[in-house]
Structure formats: C-alpha cells, structure tokens
Amino acid sequence: MGQPDIRVTGGDLLARTLKAAGVETIFALHGGHHEALFKGCVDHDIALVDVRHEAAAGHAADAYARTTGKLGVCVITAGPGYANATAAIANAQLDGAPVLFIIGAPPLREVETNPLQGGIDQIAMARPISKWALSIPATERIPDLAAMAIRKAMTGRKGAVVLEVPIDILHMSVPAARATPAAGLHVQPTPAPSPAEAWRLADLLATAERPAIIVGLEGATPGVASALAGLSERLGVPVFTKPQAGGVLPPGHPLDAGAPGGLAALAMSGAPGPDLVILLGARLGLMLGGRSGGIVPHAARVVQVCADAGEIGRLRDVDLAIAADGRETLMALAEALDGVRLPDWRGWAAQACGIKAASAAAFADARAAGGVHPYRAAQAVAEAAGPEAVYVLDGGEAASWAAMTAAPNAPGRVLTHGYLGCLGIGPGFAIGAQLAHPERRVVQVTGDGAMGFHIQELDTMVRHRLPIVTVVLNNQVWGMSIHGQQLMFGENYNVISKLAGTRYADIASSFGCHAERVEDEAELPAALARAFAAGRPALVEVMTDPDVVHPVTVSMLGQVKEGGGETMIPYYENIPEGV
C-alpha cells in the first residue's frame, strides 16, 4: 500500500479498494459516519450521486448493477439511514442483483453507551435479507474484507452484501504497509455444464414434441442473448421471457412468445401445453404459476439452468439440473446438437407465439369511458420511447400494463418488480439506469400509488440533470388493491384504496420538471414527444379509467368456484375446504 511511515485513513483504504474493483459511481445520502469515505472518493475520482432517501439510493445502485452487470454500490448512514434501506437490500437480494451496501455505525469504543444512531444490531438485521453481512473490526482489515464482500456479491448467484464500517474504524489511520491487501477483487468464474449434461439436454430436445424455453432474470444478459440468437433459429423453439428478461430476443423475432403467462392462456384455450420446459436462469415460484402447473405443466419434463444449485428443484423435481452459466450452457448445447436431427416444431412454435399476438390484439382498440385506457397509455409510451430505451416499471397494475407493451431490443432494459413486490422502486431504478446509460432514454411508468413512495426523487433528477421521463398512470386508486377487494366482496366495496385528488404534474413542475397532465388519449402522443424532447426531467400524468382491471389481478386472486368450499387468499394459493 505504500511506505511504512505513510499513514492512511480507513476511508481512503476503502475508496482505494472500490476504485481497484472498477467502481466509478456510488449512490448515497449524506451522513457524518462516512465523511472519511466521501473524502476518499473525491481523492480517487469516484462519483458520488446523492439522493433524497436511503431506499432510493439502494434501488439506484441495484438498477446500475442490473443494467451494466457491474457491482452497484450504495453508501448509507447508521440507524435510521440503514433501516430506511432494508427494503432495497432485500429487493436486490431476492432478484440476485450484485449490490454492496456500505453502512455506518457508532464507534466500537462506545458500544452500549446509548450512542447516537446506535442501539440496534444492524448486522443481525441484515443477515436474513442479504447474501452476506459483516462488521469490519479494525482499520487495517478494510481492504481484504471489502474485497471479500465484493467477491460474495459478484460470484455464484449474485446478491446483496452489507458491510458495516464503524465511524472510528473508518476515520482512524494506520501505516499504509500494515493494511491488508485487497485480494481477489476480479474473481468472477463462469461455470459451464459438463459434457454429459449438454448431451442429456440435447437428447431431451430431440425427443420432445412441444419444447419451450423460459428465460428469467439471471438469463437477461448480453451473453445469453447472443448465444440464444445464434441457436434459436436452429432450434425453432418458442422463447418466453419473464418481464425482467425482456429483450433477450429482439422485438418482432418470430420465436418471441412473450410472457410465460401465455402458456397458461394456451392451456385455457384447450391446446396442449409444452412437454419439455427449459428454465434458463428462471426460478420457480408465483411468477411461473407456483405449484399450480398452469405455466409449467406437471406432466412436462423440466430442465433448470441456474447458477445457484440450491435453487434447482424448488417446488418440483426436475429431469435435468444444470448449475451453470446460461451462455455457457447454450454454447455447450449448440456443440452437443451437432449431427442431431431435431423434430420440426414450426407448427407448435407458431401456436405458442400466437398467444402473444392474440393478447395484444385483444387490447389494441380498447377504450374506456372513465379516462384513458391504461393499455393504450402504455402502448403510446412504448411507441414514443422506442426499442433503444430502458424501461422502469413500478406500481401494481400500472407495471403490468406497461410490461405488455415495452419492447426493448436488448436484455437488461426492463426493470420491474421481482419476488419482493416492492412498490416505490421506480425513481431509484430510473436514476441508476440513467447514470449507467447516459446515452439512452430512460422512461419510468408508474401508478399514482407507487409514485407517492419516493416522489421527492424528482428533486434528485433535477439536481443531477437526468432527462428521465416519468409517466404516471393516475386512476386515483390503489388499482390492484381496490380491484381485488371488489372481486372478493362486490363491485361497491372498497377500504383505504382510493387516492383521488393529487395532481402529480403540478408537483413535478414545482420540483423543476417539464410536466403535463393528459386527460384525452388523442393528446398523449404529442405530450410524450414534448417530454422526451425537453432534455430535462419530465413527468406526464395520464388520467386513466379506475374501473379497468388488468387480467393479472384476476389471475393472482385465484378464483374459487361458486358454492365451493375453498377460501380465497389474494396473491397466494387458496386454502382447500376442510383445512
């Protein structure tokens, strides 16, 4: 680290380690616990982007990581600062986003003295919601333990890691020569399947009548997209993508089958479903139909490709488990298929992919009496933003409408909810995505409910001159909530699910954004064009019909047969009679 007589602060050691790891941008909210680190970032040319709420800082780092494949870094202060960010930590962890959360803490020497912003065991709180969490015990250990945190975040199934640095540890200095080396900063192995696994996958394909590929968030990488593009036409297999994996195949690709829910729609139409499902970086759970078999049929053979071997086989047995990288698996499969005659699946692929077109056609001319139809609003946003844009989708039904129309031409450009179902991710995600991709349009589509969580981040966008376009679909209710209530208890029922009266365009204008309110669909294309041309943060508030229900709300409620004995449980499996 340097000459024996030169002393360095913990903040400088940590900044040096982050710089050596390739970190260029840190998302933060100021707190005195980190003053030495902030000084180190200035000295080592690491950009600090300050936001207005710790959760937004965490979400911004999360989006930065997802859209670049690099480490995201969030720095937040102790106590309430850390507590505010716990949702962001859990969200990154559940979705496998590599984010390093550096949190402050009172001095070690003042433990159990009722110090300021102390009194809680932050690491004990962090362990259940992160991949790894540790408090650094000594200044000279900062480099090697920070390097370990980075390796934990970036290897295997990636995830959120929490590194607590008490203020005295961070501000004290040590001889540079005594500091531990930051070893292994760039260790990122890429596991490949064994030859036997690749051959077995080829055999399963060769004997399948109706194979389907489902790509999840782990597969939403340029490497997977490139390998899949080279292999898809040779295979002729329909490719379904979870929302966060949109863009793995380019818009209009003949094998792009859309969302996995299309498989459930196919079954409901009476057509036979897939007899082989290849889960490429996709996890089993609610978003793939849970244990119902509606999307992944119980009778189908299943191949699951996932970096985390412990995730494979959740909810059901699989016929082939491959704990490997998606790109490496596709490349190995291509080699294993040399000389193998595959069935002609063109008829099956056309049928499977036709569900997406039918779904879009069902809403293409939709109109609503009480405002703009949300599908039409989302469609106008996608047309204005274009395939090069990064789409950030927040809210319940608002995000679902936007997911139906967003058509990016590369992976990692649709950022939306994962299994935490965390409302309010939108502003932070948009900030992180725009800073990661300054050359791209970033459009955030959100509901009026979700927008209220972090509306103050409009100030962050203005201060940092981020030309993010936010579109608020304002139906003046918590859409998924009120529609669920009415499906359960009747159309005249609602409890704490109305939000009428707030004018989001007026609020955005006060923050310094270009802002417009649209009540007539005919005015929407021009309003969006002005927003994208403004060259500064913009918000378009679209008044949508509160009575329009998204199909996902109906499906997530798990309808019960009239007169049956089941108990309806919103968003989860119904409870059978007699339980």
Place of tokens 């996890």: 283
E strand or H helix that includes residue 535: none
- For the chain, the C-alpha Rg in angstroms (whole number) is 25
Do residues 107 and 36 make contact, with C-beta atoms less than 8 angstroms apart?
no
Q: Rounded to an integer, what distance in angstroms lies between the CA atom of residue 304 and that of residue 325?
A: 11
| CA distances (Å), origin 358, targets 10, 150, 353, 377, 471 | 59, 45, 9, 19, 26
Angle, alpha carbons 87-89-95 (nearest 5°): 100
Phi then psi dihedrals of residue 248, to 5 deg: -60, -35
Residue 68, judged by CB atoms within 10 A of its CB (0-12, 13-18, 19+), counts as middle
The residues, any chain, with a CB within 8 Å of residue 112's CB and separated by 6 or more, are none
Do residues 11 and 170 make contact, with C-beta atoms less than 8 angstroms apart?
yes
Beta carbons within 10 angstroms of residue 267's beta carbon: 17
Phi then psi dihedrals of residue 144, to 5 deg: -75, -35
In sequence order, the β-bridge partners of residue 498 are: 477
Do residues 11 and 38 make contact, with C-beta atoms less than 8 angstroms apart?
yes
Q: Which residues of 430-452 are buried (b: 16+ CB within 10 A; e: fewer)?
A: bbbbbbbbeebbbbbbbbbbbbb
Q: Rounded to an integer, what distance in angstroms lies between the CA atom of residue 458 and that of residue 427?
A: 8
Q: Rounded to an integer, what distance in angstroms lies between the CA atom of residue 241 and that of residue 396?
A: 19
| Catalytic (active-site) positions | 33, 54, 117, 421
Beta carbons within 10 angstroms of residue 426's beta carbon: 32
Q: Rounded to an integer, what distance in angstroms lies between the CA atom of residue 59 and that of residue 56?
A: 5
Q: Rounded to an integer, what distance in angstroms lies between the CA atom of residue 142 and that of residue 18?
A: 11
Q: What 8-state DSSP symbol labels residue 181?
A: P
Do residues 163 and 149 make contact, with C-beta atoms less than 8 angstroms apart?
yes
The residues, any chain, with a CB within 8 Å of residue 38's CB and separated by 6 or more, are 11, 28, 30, 48, 75
**From edge to edge, which strands make up the β-sheet containing 414-415?**
414-415, 390-393, 442-447, 469-474, 538-543, 514-518
Do residues 46 and 23 make contact, with C-beta atoms less than 8 angstroms apart?
yes
- Per this entry, what is the length of the chain? 579
Closest CA to 432 of 422, 442, 424, 423: 442
Which tokens is 118 given? 């102390």
3-state secondary structure of 114: coil
